[in-house]
A and B are shown apart, each in its own frame.
Chain A
Amino acid sequence: MENEPIIRFQDFGFQYTAQAEPTLYHINLDIHKGEKVLIAGPSGCGKSTLAHCINGLVPNSYPGKSTGSLTIGGKNAQNMGLFELSQTVGTVLQDSDGQFIGLTVAEDIAFALENDCVPVGPMHDTVARIAELVDVKQVLNHAPHEISGGQKQRVGLGGVMVGNVDVLLFDEPLANLDPATGKQAIVLIDEIQKRTGCAVIIIEHRVEDVLYRPVDRVILMEDGRIRYDGDPDSLLCTDLLPACGIREPLYVTALKYAGVALTKAMRPSYLPELTLSDAQKEQVRCWYEQHPNAEVNAAAPVLLRAENLDFTYDGGHHALRGVSVTVHKGEMLSIVGTNGAGKSTFSKVVCGFEKAQSGILELNGIDLNTLSIKERADHIGYVMQNPNQMISKTQIYDEVALGLRNRQVPEEEIRPRVEETLKICGLYPFRNWPVSALSYGQKKRVTIASILVLKPEMILLDEPTAGQDLKHYTEIMDFLRELNRQGITVVLITHDMHLMLEYTPRAVVFHAGKVIADKSAAEVLNDPQIVAEAHLKETSLYHLSALCGIDNSEEFTRRFIARDREVRK
């Protein structure tokens, strides 16, 4: 029957065995074949649990008690095992390295077929066909670390498509991708859906990026309940997204600031089809003209000077080609570019993890090459992306004190320094807690504290907000800005275009081992050539200003960010 939904939640609720409160309450939701649905919501809203109910990890791997009913493909999901469900629902996990199980691309695509005991001959045919479909044919014999993040995700998708599933479920597909690759992923998902006609469910909090291609419905979740279930245009006319702690598309926020009353008919969810009347365009122009020029900071003295750095890895990969970057005292700046553009290599060279073959590297006029890794760390602190990779002590206090103890600082001097740092980082109330009791964001602070305690002049952070929702993102970034106000120079390596616009006046763009731009973040993102070359994603404000006839899209972006900052405060 055509109208029978493939997934049907009826008054469904769920509580994990280990938790005191239910995670999902009274969920009523139908999803039909051929639909494309975005499920959005802040961290902890229950969207992942909902996804786990659909693919069977709940209750098969994460036990708990459910109420109401959930049917998938007409059958009661509670009675279906993981394997039976996997015939209907294909899941692509957020962690593409965890998803990629095979030794090579071909073996990974074949994984489900192998488990199904498909004979080798037909298996090779299916793999070839699917590889063609997801465009990884050239890399079939490559190992996972030899291909790009975008290709890895294509392989992940191919791996679940071999099973002819009716539902494709994507768990945060954009989390680990650079902006341009994220865009390609959304396009690919769209094409696959059109070609196969299966239902697509995307779990994601980056709404604007998903809306790069139209979706049929958005389900907005908060506190285990569905707050909104309907078409995306109507949703954007309301203020529900920001109320739930989800970032709206920037152009929508800008239109709201300008006082434009949004209606469903204007098609706000899909930028290429957004229609504005002349009066509304005038409103936007008026808003732009009324707002003052955003301030530009004067240059401070130079802290770090890198000139003509050249670096080649042992394997022959020429990662830095004549890179020159200057960092001023008290600055907060972004380093952006694709994976493999050289930004991580640059940070490794700065921290002394790798040594440049040629070029000058100076801090406050001192040649950094004369200092060991440990000595450099007294001036430049490096914070890894994943706090779990940095924390080696069980107690917060010990973790923060580690660097000082390793430097043989006397214990009576350590205590005040650690306590002071914990106060700066807002961790003082937790000082006697074990690290394991902290949230991800708090752990991140612990790692930052463990670096700050060494009193570096500059800290370098790798993807500080990866995978965080708006609330945690704002928490981490406001904290970093506060540190910056106190005089610490902050350098961020990031994929997040909005982060760079909102928090860092200056952006350095890497591409293929070279610096291809070094100017204000707004300028970078309004320059189509740089955006294309460095695989960035232009801000939607660029399109909006063009649509409204504003020539200086850069200044428009700057004024919007300044305004947005005031409002969000």
Chain B
Amino acid sequence: MKKFSVKTIVAIGIGAALFFVLGRFVAIPSPVPNTSISVQYGLLAFLAVVYGPVAGALVGLIGHTLIDFSYGWGVWWSWVIASGVFGLLMGIAAKTLKMEEGELGKKGLIKFNISQLVCHLICWLAVAPVLDVYMMGEPWDKLIAQGLMAAVANAVTTAIVGSLLCIAYAATKTKAGSLTKE
């Protein structure tokens, strides 16, 4: 197995902690009564872009498992794995975005959002339901309906939260050399 740098390990740990805190404590009231929208997938997409596919996968897996553990309602492995796969796919898709050099621009944002939409569709409409059908023997129609809801909600939050994070991060990478006082 490839050896990770210490920095990647720390990024996975802190990333999972952030994923946990956002997923567990940051609930934004949603238009549907008694449900809330979780913003952690925006974070996950962003971290996968910055730290790569393996880090993305592990942040999703660890973070989601810890959330399930802390609620104590059992670990829903199908959804945990789907979170991990989302991190993995986003990391792979984002290899073309050159965030480290502070280049993002409109093109980068469009790429980011197309990738995240596709990744969400794969994870919540394919990965999670297939695993659920196998493990829990649940009916397809119900799983697809659930998956579609999750994919849409997560894609919307990722589009806003993830994009804003990418913009803010890219901005911290700009060099001050070109600036003049006015």
Contact = CB atoms under 8 A, between A and B. Distances in A.
Direct contact of A and B (CB under 8 A): yes
Given A394-B167, A394-B168, A434 B174 contact: yes
Contacts of B32: none
B174 A431 contact: no
Interface residues of A, number: 11
Interface string A200-234: 00000000000000000000000000000000000
Contacts of A120: none
A394 B182 contact: no
B181 A429 contact: yes
Label chain A's interface by main secondary structure: mixed
Given A394-B167, A394-B168, A437 B182 contact: no
Nearest to B174: A434
Contacts of B182: 429, 431-432
Interface string A406-449: 00000000000000000000000111111111000000000000
A434 B167 CA distance: 12
Interface residues of B, number: 10
Interface string B150-182: 000000000000000001100111101001011
Contacts of B172: 436
Contacts of B167: 394
Contacts of A431: 182
Nearest to A438: B176
A432 B178 CA distance: 12
B168 A437 contact: no
A430 B176 CA distance: 11
B62 to A, nearest CB: 15
A437 B181 contact: no
A339 B168 CA distance: 33
Contacts of A394: 167-168, 171
Nearest to B168: A394
Contacts of A434: 171, 174
Contact of B181 (A392, A430, A435, A436): A430
A307 B171 CA distance: 46
Contacts of A392: 168
Contacts of B173: 436
Interface of B: 167-168, 171-174, 176, 179, 181-182
Question: Would you list the 5 A-B pairs with minimal beta carbon distance, nearest first?
Answer: A429-B181, A437-B176, A394-B171, A436-B172, A434-B171
Given A429-B181, A433-B179, A436-B173, 10 more contacts: A392-B168, A394-B167, A430-B181, A431-B182, A432-B182, A433-B176, A436-B171, A436-B172, A436-B176, A437-B179
22 contacts: A392-B168, A394-B167, A394-B168, A394-B171, A429-B181, A429-B182, A430-B181, A431-B182, A432-B182, A433-B176, A433-B179, A434-B171, A434-B174, A435-B171, A436-B171, A436-B172, A436-B173, A436-B174, A436-B176, A437-B174, A437-B176, A437-B179
